Amino acid sequence: MAYFKGFNTRAIHKKRTNVRKIAISQPIVPAVAYAFDTVEDASKTVNNELDGEYYGRYGNPTSKELENKISSLEHAEDALAVSSGMAAISISLMYFLNENDHVVVTKDIYGGTHKLLKTLASKYNIQYDYVDCANVNNIENSIKMNTRAIYIETPSNPSLKLIDIRAVAKVAKSNNLPLIVDNTFMTPYLQNPLTLGADIVVHSATKYLNGHGDVIAGVICSQEDIVKDMRKNIMGDLGQNMNAWESYLILRGIKTLGIRMEKHCDNAHKVAKFLNKHSAVKSVFYPGLPSHPQYDLAHSQMKNMGGIISFEIKGDLQSVKKMINSLKIIMISFSLGDPETLIQHPASMTHSSIPKKELSNFGLSEGLVRLSVGLEDSDDIINDLKQAFKFI
């Protein structure tokens, strides 16, 4: 789709074929298996000598359209649609890591990734160090003889700390290490890590890419040879494929991704400014506020500031819970990126696998709240927060 330059145009249209009639809405192909004219054709397909699907665990035509779409938006050679965001993360790590290997991981990280490393990685003797990757010197000092990858997310979940992707990519390349970036918060509309030097981009497509809270899915973007290897030797073998229906829903969601992200960003900026002035709020973490320590970096690598805000509430844990429980429009939920505004308490919800005594090491506190600002009228979101703060 090289002749489509604008993001929204690429998000809506697909490359034309020679077929005279094209379904405007993406067809859903739920087939498990595919028939071949000859044994030779079947053999060549399964061995990647011919393009095409052969068994649903390794992909389907609807998912392929999604992969083509995402790879175009992320400026990648290829993409892999998988069953969840955690599937995307685990496949990306498993591709580079074997027993006794080591990975450098940003310490400001999604709770699911923390739990994966704590349980499964440790079980298979994969080593890891949590590092403050905002300072590239920390990364250099953490690289060992057996280090095989660097893994970051920016902005981080939930503290909204930013990492300079260009700077980390230089360190990765000088040490011949792949850089994996979780781009879920930003989406390809707001940030393109591959163009900044990253090697792998992962998304929880459950969130903004789908945008409607009715799909669990993930996507990996990278070079064509890496994606093919992941598809055949990890995703397919572990059964982490995305099904056709969910691929269709995400394709539908992506058509409005640019428009939705603009509204998410606009609402979030207004809410962040309100929170920044409220007497019940100790601190606000949002890259769009000049008070954010990496405000300039945000503007250099991000098109806009996203729809996620984190903030610390004054008072004890009970005050925090009382405020959250008093909301009337905003919903308590583990997810983010939906049309609805969602709130959660990381220490007791998404990041509950982190022991209380270690929270500060990950930039967390019991007073921290994460807000996924939705598509409602911004005044209604702000007024709901206002009335809830009165119960503290």
> Which residues are identified as catalytic?
57, 110, 182, 207
Q: Which of 205, 171, 214, 195 is nearest to 69 (CA)?
A: 205
Distance from C-alpha of 198 to C-alpha of 178, rounded to nearest angstrom: 7
| Token pair in block for residue 339 | 């049309």
* H or E element in which residue 240 lies: none
Closest CA to 151 of 121, 129, 126: 129
DSSP bridge partners of 343: 332, 371
Residue with tokens 């879920």: 184
User: What one-character-per-residue DSSP string does 152-177 give?
Assistant: EESS-TTT-----HHHHHHHHHHTT-
Q: Which H or E run contains 309?
A: strand 308-313
Q: Exposed, middle or buried: residue 137 (CB in 10 Å: 0-12, 13-18, 19+)?
A: exposed
Nearest to 341 by CA among 300, 309, 298, 299: 309
295's enclosing H/E stretch is helix 295-301
Which residue, among 270, 301, 308, has the nearest Cα to 286 in the 3D structure? 308
Q: Give first-to-last CA distance, the chain, whole Å.
A: 53
Q: How far apart are CA 101 and CA 143, in angstroms?
A: 11
Can you tell me the distance from the alpha carbon of 301 to that of 377, in angstroms, rounded to the nearest whole number?
Answer: 28
Q: What is the strand order of the sheet 78-82 is part of?
A: 78-82, 218-222, 200-204, 179-182, 147-153, 102-106, 127-131
Q: Which residues contact 301 (CB under 8 A, 6 or more apart)?
A: 162, 164, 165, 166, 191, 196
Angstrom distance (rounded) from CA 179 to CA 201: 9
